Structures are given as structure tokens and as C-alpha cells.
A and B are shown apart, each in its own frame.
Chain A
Amino acid sequence: NAGVTQTPKFRILKIGQSMTLQCTQDMNHNYMYWYRQDPGMGLKLIYYSVGAGITDKGEVPNGYNVSRSTTEDFPLRLELAAPSQTSVYFCASRPTGSNQPQHFGDGTRLSIL
């Protein structure tokens, strides 16, 4: 059971480039989340999804887009990379149920130069 898988693990982008961070889970969880983790700042929610075809903004959605065409996949898109988007990105999923914990992937470390 792989859990939550994120690819790539590391990436360096130039300013203005675009890329997609991939996230897939094999636990049949309805809820999925994208966070960014900046040093000393904890995790901030970018976008989340409560099921296939449904997405919504979190605290810091500007500069990002998501889609949820299947239960398993929840890719995060950066259209015009900016230095402020240098961060570690985590994808998470959780099953239905009010106090079910989120399961996290190992993260993608992204640098924008």
C-alpha cells in the first residue's frame, strides 16, 4: 500500500516557467489537500478537494490551480513561477469522517530561481 505519492521530489524552475506537481493516493480517500511549508511558518493550505470534480481554495491559492478528475489524482499547477513560490509542497488525503487524520506524502521541494 503506497499511500500518498508525490512526484517529483525536487525541482528547480526559472521565473515564469510552469509545471505540475503530481499527487496520487491509493486509499480511495475522498478528501485531498495541497499545502506549502515555508521555514518557521508551519503548513498553509493552498487548495483542497472533497471529491472528484470538486475543488476549493484554501488560505494561499494565488498563483496555483488544481483539478480533480479522478478520486486518486490531485495535481497542483503553477502557471508562472515566481520566487515567492519557492517552498516545500505537501499533498495529503483523508477518509470520510469528522476526525479522521490526514495522510501526507513525502513532499516536493521546489526552488524558483
Chain B
Amino acid sequence: GDSVTQMEGPVTLSEEAFLTINCTYTATGYPSLFWYVQYPGEGLQLLLKATKADDKGSNKGFEATYRKETTSFHLEKGSVQVSDSAVYFCALNRVTGGGNKLTFGTGTQLKVEL
């Protein structure tokens, strides 16, 4: 079945540092890939998505490229801010007859310090 593997956290960075959060997946066919972000005490919010191989999703300075050859969807940001501190979830979206099925990674906590 489908699965998503994320790097374990927490990841602690200084403000303005470069961020990479690794995400790899196992799936057949051509699922879509999403990154969600969860701020403390809140629900998950969609950060970006990519629907086919070689697509690059981007939002708020974050970006991720759908790499089918390496089954990866790594999240990157060139310069993080304290306000980026949150938990980041990689997710695989599969279209099924009964509605889309999202398979989540375990989440990676990011802490950004001054």
C-alpha cells in the first residue's frame, strides 16, 4: 500500500537559515503530493501541492518538486523565519472511487530561533 516517510524532528534552525525537510513515498501509479503545515493549537493547512512528476509546488517561500525517479518531494525554503515554526506533514493523495485518500507522513517539527 501507499506510505510516506519523513525525516524525524525536531529540526532546529537559526533565523535566515536554509531549510530542507526530506519526504519520500512508496506508491504505484501517479498520486498527487501535498505538504501541509500545522501551527500550534491549529488544524492542518495546505502549504503546497504537485499533481504530476516534475511539477514544482510553491507558496510563502517554500517549494517542493515532485521527483518520480527518486520518489521524493522534499520541502525547501531559502531563509526561514521564527514564524515558520510549526509541524510539517508530507502527504500522498490518491484518487479512489470513494473519494480521495490522503496518506500522511508522521510529521516533522521545525523550530526556528533568533
Contacts and interface: CB of A to CB of B under 8 A. Distances in A.
A94 B100 contact: yes
Interface of A: 4, 31, 40-43, 45, 48, 50, 56, 90, 92, 94, 98-107
Contacts of A107: 42-43
* Shortest 3 CB-CB contacts between residues of A and residues of B: A104-B43, A42-B104, A101-B46
B17 interface: no
B106 A42 contact: yes
Contacts of A102: 44, 46, 100, 102
A42 B107 contact: yes
B23 to A, nearest CB: 12
A106 B42 contact: yes
Interface residues of B, number: 24
Contacts of B102: 43, 45, 102
B104 A43 contact: yes
A95 B98 CA distance: 14
B41 interface: yes
Nearest to B31: A99
Given A31-B100, A56-B98, 7 more contacts: A42-B107, A101-B46, A101-B49, A103-B46, A106-B41, A107-B42, A107-B43
A90 B89 CA distance: 14
A98 B34 contact: no
Interface string B70-83: 00000000000000
Contact of B34 (A4, A56, A101, A106): A101
B12 interface: no
Nearest to A102: B102
